[in-house]
Chain A
Amino acid sequence: ETGVTQSPTHLIKTRGQQVTLRCSSQSGHNTVSWYQQALGQGPQFIFQYYREEENGRGNFPPRFSGLQFPNYSSELNVNALELDDSALYLCASSLGGQGEYEQYFGPGTRLTVT
């Protein structure tokens, strides 16, 4: 059974650019959640996708957007990058969108904005 995978591992972008991060969910999981972890902080919830629909959103501006595909993989898109967007981006997959389902985390994508 393949776990959660993310690509790319590392990424360097310039302020104002756009970036797309990718996540493949664990086999059998239909839900993907995205988190942002700034240096020295705990991960912060960005949004969740359940069966291709957004199921909840944290306190992030609209330039953070996402997508989930029929195979339940997901993308996180960030437009107009700012220096404060530099962080580790984690995705997690689960069997469902409700809180009782354990979330399984990928290794993360390290984004640096210069």
Chain B
Amino acid sequence: KQEVTQIPAALSVPEGENLVLNCSFTDSAIYNLQWFRQDPGKGLTSLLLIQSSQREQTSGRLNASLDKSSGRSTLYIAASQPGDSATYLCAASGTYKYIFGTGTRLKVLA
């Protein structure tokens, strides 16, 4: 049974810092690994999707990596800004469904 864990559960950093969010999964037989952003009370915004054959994806200040053999993915955020404050969720896609972690709550202080 796939389990997805995100560490840390919460993170507070000063503006401008580079930071790394971690996601681990127990079953390496995944199709994709996807990172989402969720603002309070809102739905999910897709940030990056990494296919199982890929090692990383980049979009602007965001870079996500995937290591299936170790069951890990990281989301790197460069030069963090107060507007980056949100909850970040990772999801591993199985046979037909996404398994989500519980998220990392990020606060970037001005």
Residue from A43, A98, A99, A106 within 8 A of B100 (CB atoms): A43
Q: A106-B43, A107-B42, A107-B43 are in contact. Are A58 and B102 (CB under 8 A)?
A: no
Tell me the smallest distance from the CB of B52 to a CB of chain A, in Å. Answer: 8
Contact B102 A42 (CB under 8 A): yes
- Chain B residues contacting A103 (CB-CB under 8 Å) are 93, 98
- Chain B residues contacting A97 (CB-CB under 8 Å) are 96
Q: A90-B43, A107-B42 are in contact. Are A100 and B93 (CB under 8 A)?
A: yes
- Chain B residues contacting A105 (CB-CB under 8 Å) are 36, 43-44, 46
8 A Cβ contacts from B31-89 to A: 31-32, 34, 36, 41-44, 46, 49, 51, 89
Contact A108 B102 (CB under 8 A): no
Residue from A45, A88, A106, A108 within 8 A of B97 (CB atoms): A45
Tell me the smallest distance from the CB of B66 to a CB of chain A, in Å. Answer: 14
A-side residues, CB < 8 A to B, are: 33, 35, 40-45, 48, 50, 55-56, 58, 88, 90, 92, 97-100, 102-108, 110
Q: Can you add 4 more A-B contacts, CB < 8 Å, to A33-B98, A102-B34, A107-B42?
A: A99-B31, A99-B96, A100-B93, A102-B46
Q: List 24 A-B contacts (CB under 8 A).
A: A35-B98, A35-B100, A41-B102, A43-B44, A44-B100, A50-B96, A90-B43, A92-B98, A98-B31, A98-B95, A99-B32, A99-B94, A100-B51, A100-B93, A102-B46, A103-B98, A104-B46, A105-B36, A105-B43, A105-B44, A105-B46, A107-B43, A108-B42, A108-B44
